[in-house]
Amino acid sequence: MVGPMGQDTARAIEQYRAGRREEALALADAVLHEAPGDAAALNLAGVVLFELGRYGEAQDRLLRLVSLDPLFGQARINLAVVQEAAGVGGQAAAHLRAAAVLEPGRVDVYSRLGGLLHGQGDREGAVRHLGRAARLAPEDPAHRVMLAVALLSDGMPADAVRHLEEVLATAPALADARVHLATGWLALGRPDLAEQALQPLGESVANGDAATLLARARLYRHLAADVGRPRTPDGLVVRAPFSVLSGYGDFAQHFVRSLMERGRTLRLVGLTGEEGWRPAFDDPVLDAAAGRLANPVRPRLVLNVLTPLLVEPVPGLPTVNYTMFEGPRIPAGWAERSRAHDLVVVPTESSRLAWIAAGHPEDRIGVCPPGIAANPLDRAAQPLAALGPRGRRVMEYRVRVLNISDFVARKNLDGLFRVWLRATRADDDAILIVKVGKGGAAMARQVDRLLERCAATVGRRLEEAAPIALFTDRYDERQMAGFYATATHYLSLSHGEGWDLPITRAGCLGAGLIAPAHSAYTTYLDERVAHLIPCSTGPALMPYSEAYYPPFHGLDWWHPDEEAAADILARVIGNPEGERRDASRHLTDGFTWEAASRRLLGLLDGVGH
């Protein structure tokens, strides 16, 4: 337990309260020099060091304190704050759980723990602890609002709406609650109630989230009214992130072009409302037709190309969502929202099984692989002119292995690096080209730290393996085409893919493909046209951690066999011509956008009749 406070410690606390942190820290350190176990001095030193941004030292002091006095609840809270700021949220959550047991009436503990778990993807834990905070402090609406936000992100808009309406019954001027309430009503397909929730905001609704919510609510009401509009062409409403650089946006753009080529009339809706993107065609007739996309249509259904939690039903119209997932089973929130949709369409059998594993009705899910086509920019792309890390031009290497990924755990860059370090030697005529994220120098430092950890795990220095050229800046589309023009091979060690556009793009150009035998890869690749890596399934954890990757909290994903991958890679580098497999014709002939749109229309024809 905390012992009596000495005079020197008391003076240190007085200095801290007076805003003289450096003086307080010096006095606390002096106390600890004579009495290393002084609890009050350890706690004060930890707090001051944290405020000075010296997280490692702060954590050291507070860990020592907690080990000496494990029942000191405030010390655990302080340690959790430091650890959360230092990026070790799993350890922080453990100390907050202990603090909640030691001090069960502390609202701030449950609120902080709930927020932390929400960020870690533990939606169930977040809802439980935020709910506890709301019950302990019913007079403070902020806790109910935080709970509602967690419920919305967990796919439970009805529960969120209930809490927010109760909050607004006693605090009607709380603008934040009104914005979240409107979000919940849109998720439930009630744009009329969303608009009603925002009306009391008056002039303040002109900008920000409230403005886009109100615009969508009014747009959805107009779309619903268009069902009975006379002398209006029949058509489909398509809602997707057309203007966002993403896989969903890419699929949506291709489907729109292909559906219009088949004579369908469409109205496009973006994430925030009316959509400004318009397709361009080589055919002048089709290009002229694109100008009529903004005109009203008499819609038969709404086709979304979105993750399930972003779908907002339009009243009176069937809801279809073209979506996908990267693991063997979708999250519970996705399953809850998807069950409210008339039809879910996915690109692969893997995604179909992921929905069914979560309890989705088999008769309300269909499979429609997208098309695979060469990117127009690739025709005239120039290879990279960059130098590799050892001063040799990248294009001078005989084998040039590409990987393009976001810096997220699912992409398994740590596995990619371990395989490269195991499979290659310094004198191999090969280079690994990794284009990761868009974070510049800051991201490069993060990737370098991961690479150093991988080298230590494998037990080989980077200099003992073939070089790795790392690119972390933002590049335009023409520059990105240069990466593909450079590659002789593409290597993925991903834990799971809904589709994986980069590998199909590389495959269209004739790059040799090495990929795990799981998820989307098994839809468009086989051993005849690619090298496939055997896999097993297991928990979806962060690299070198026992913490779950937040979007996959509590779920499994695939783990590629790194020994098998290293063997494949070594064979390819040692004999690139003898190990050559070409997927280009297989991809472009077997997965056309004409076939994809025909398949999609066939699935849509069964909806709403």
How would you write 77-111 as a 3-class SS string? HHHHHHHHHCCCHHHHHHHHHHHHHHCCCCHHHHH
C-alpha span between 362 and 244 (Å, rounded)? 31
Question: What percentage of residues in the chain have a pLDDT greater than 70?
Answer: 97
In the chain, domain spans: 140-228, 231-371+596-604, 381-590
pLDDT computed for residue 1 by the predictor: 39
Instruction: Provide the residue type at 275 as one letter.
Output: E
Considering all CA atoms of the chain, what is the largest pairwise distance in Å, rounded to the nearest integer?
Answer: 90
pLDDT at 276: 84
- Are residues 244 and 277 in contact, defined by beta-carbon separation less than 8 angstroms? no
Residue pair 219/274 in contact (Cβ under 8 Å)? The answer is yes
Report the topology of domain 231-371+596-604: Rossmann fold (3.40.50)
What backbone phi and psi angles, to 5 degrees, belong to 298?
Answer: -95, 95
DSSP letter, residue 308: G
Fold matches, 140-228 and 231-371+596-604: no
Six token digits for residue 34: 């004579």
For residue 245, the model assigns a pLDDT of 80
Q: Can you tell me the distance from the alpha carbon of 268 to that of 250, in angstroms, rounded to the nearest whole number?
A: 14
418 is written with which tokens?
Answer: 């371990």
CATH class of 140-228: mainly alpha
In the numeric block, which tokens belong to residue 451? 């690479």
Burial, 396: exposed, middle or buried (Cβ in 10 Å; 0-12, 13-18, 19+)? exposed
Q: What are the tens digits of pLDDT across the range 198-225?
A: 999 987 776 788 999 999 999 999 999 9
What is the token pair recorded at 223? 């779309």
What is the spatial distance between Cα 501 and Cα 521, in angstroms, rounded to a whole number?
11
* Locus of tokens 């190990």: 579
Handedness of CA 523, 527, 533, 538 (dihedral sign): positive
* Average pLDDT over all residues of the chain: 94
Q: Which pLDDT score, from 0 to 100, does residue 257 have?
A: 93
Number of H helices, E strands in the chain: 25, 14
Average pLDDT value for residue range 109-132: 95
46, 15 in Cβ contact below 8 A?
Answer: no
- Whether the CB-CB separation of 373 and 508 falls below 8 Å is answered with yes
Distance CA 121, CA 402 (A): 31
- pLDDT on residue 225: 92
Q: Is the pLDDT of residue 421 over 80?
A: yes
User: What helix, strand, coil percent values describe the chain, rounded to 5?
Assistant: 55, 10, 35
pLDDT tens per residue, range 549-569: 999 999 999 999 999 999 999
pLDDT digits (tens, 9 = 90+) for 499-527: 999 999 999 999 999 999 999 999 999 99
**What is residue 265's DSSP assignment?**
-
| pLDDT > 90: percent of the chain | 87
Q: Report the distance separating Cα 197 and Cα 114, nearest Å.
A: 26
- Render pLDDT for 273-316 as a digit per residue (tens, 0 to 9): 888 888 877 666 666 656 556 578 899 999 999 999 999 999 99
DSSP letter at 39 equals H
pLDDT tier, 87 (very low <50, low <70, confident <90, very high otherwise): confident
pLDDT, tens only, 9-51 = 899 999 999 999 999 999 999 999 999 999 999 999 999 999 9
Q: Residue 2: its pLDDT value, please?
A: 43
pLDDT at 337 over 70: yes
Q: With contact defined as beta carbons under 8 Å apart, do 233 and 201 qualify? A: no
- Six-digit token string for 184: 């919940």
pLDDT band at 117 (very low <50, low <70, confident <90, very high): very high
Q: The domain 381-590: what is its CATH number?
A: 3.40.50.2000
pLDDT at position 289: 59
Q: What is the mean pLDDT of residues 453-472?
A: 97
Place of tokens 């609510």: 217
Q: Give the model's pLDDT for residue 45.
A: 95
